[in-house]
Amino acid sequence: MKKEDLRIVIGADHGGYHLKNALLDYMLRMGYEVVDVGAFNDEPSDYPDFARMVAEKILNGEALRGVLICGSGVGASIAANKFRNIRASVCHDTYSARQGVEDDNMNVLCLGARVVGEALAKDILKAFLCAEFKNRERYNRRLQKIKEIEDETGQSNT
């Protein structure tokens, strides 16, 4: 996918604030269009608020993919996955970041700023951004089963 078609939304709590700024700058320098939903300082804040804003930007079409950062990446991913059609995961290696998109159509990358350094985070982010869903029958079948789980459990937002 061309960079100009791949608008990204990024958000972080206080734990991810500094890494967010570095990754935002990195994406802008690579030519991506990026929406920053905060946090805009490192005062204590709540990761579900940023998970909500990132998810909503994707679900309303303002962004195609998202990046969410907290201290570990865990809280951010738990919160983001409460939204139907959000497929978020913590990835602290480049293989998962690429394969998560190719096989699982992951649309939110979660990072733990207290776990990975800036250089590795940039490599992981690049792997995520450059990957595309492979749209194979077996991948779609599995994604359909996830939708069925969402339907059964009443997970709703759209």
Whichever of 11 and 98 has its CB closer to ligand RB5, that residue is 11
Is there a cis peptide before residue 51, judged by omega within 30 degrees of 0? no
> CB-based contacts of 130: which residues, under 8 Å, 6+ apart?
98
* Gyration radius (Cα) of the chain, Å: 15
Q: How far apart are CA 72 and CA 56, in angstroms?
A: 22
Interface residues with ligand RB5 (CB under 6 A)? Answer: 13, 15, 47, 70-72, 74-75
Tell the smallest beta-carbon distance from residue 69 to ligand RB5 (Å): 8
40 and 98 in contact (C-beta within 8 Å)? no
Among candidate residues 70, 91, 110, 130, the one labeled active-site is: 70
Whichever of 72 and 96 has its CB closer to ligand RB5, that residue is 72
Whichever of 30 and 74 has its CB closer to ligand RB5, that residue is 74
110 is an active site residue: no
Q: How far apart are CA 46 and CA 130, in angstroms?
A: 29
Tell the smallest beta-carbon distance from residue 132 to ligand RB5 (Å): 28
Q: How far apart are CA 48 and CA 57, in angstroms?
A: 14
Residue 96 φ/ψ, nearest 5 degrees: -65, -40
67 and 40 in contact (C-beta within 8 Å)? no
Whichever of 11 and 100 has its CB closer to ligand RB5, that residue is 11
Tell the smallest beta-carbon distance from residue 95 to ligand RB5 (Å): 22
Tell the smallest beta-carbon distance from residue 30 to ligand RB5 (Å): 26
Name the residues annotated as catalytic: 70
